[in-house]
Amino acid sequence: MKNIFLIFIFTSIANILYSQSEIDLSKDFIYKGKHYSPHSPWVTTGFGYGYNIFQKTGEPNFLFDIHFRIKKKYYFGIGYSTSREQFLDKNGQGIFLPYSFAKNSLNSIHIMYGYRKIGLKNNYGIFIGPSLNSGYSYIYSNKNGDYHKSYLEPGIYISTQYTQKIYYDLGVGLTLWYSFNKTYQIIGLSLHFYLSSAFKREII
């Protein structure tokens, strides 16, 4: 999983450095009869699967990140990610299992600073920032049941994302992310949906 993380980062950096566009995306432009503002905020949200480094187990995950331009190609972001032993309530009456019922769980709120490369057909980004993490971590099991402890800790969130656009402001892609804190560490890969507010108007 660590090797996949490194390969994804280096591939993303290479594409950022060498990808080109036939349209000047440093300012507003007209494309196929529509007016776009390329540095508008965008959202990535989706589900995936990851690896719990301490427990050495796989876990499903969910993320939601929103990004805003600061200057030129640099952006500020804020988001939420969660990873846990399971999401579905397999034994109870509900659909989703509360994260406090899982032996292993992570809720992370993070802010990010990073770099973005915009293309007509794709979007790349690399981000890093502090996070606040909470959840439960498995300790041990015996004949009386499972034991786990709660935690609330600061940490670091790192993500690199690639999006293939269906339209200029809509696409799908992958986010490879790493959530680090003292108690809980996850390397996650999520299939995300990309939605940008770049579209401004139709040109008649």
Rounded CA separation 92/148 (Å)? 20
CATH number of 90's domain: 2.40.160.20
Rounded CA separation 82/194 (Å)? 18
Q: Which helix (H) or strand (E) holds 202?
A: strand 199-202
* pLDDT tens figures, 69-80: 988 778 999 999
Mean pLDDT to the nearest integer, 56-68: 92
Domain count, the chain: 1
DSSP secondary structure letter of residue 19: -
- Confidence band for 192, pLDDT divided at 50, 70 and 90: very high
Rounded CA separation 50/33 (Å)? 41
Q: Coil, helix or strand for 16?
A: helix
* pLDDT tens figures, 113-130: 999 888 888 899 999 999
Domain limits for position 100 = 2-202
Q: Following DSSP, what letter does each residue of 85-106 receive, concatenated?
A: S-SB-SSSSSSB--GGGSSSEE
pTM of the model: 0.78
CB 9 within 8 A of CB 160: yes
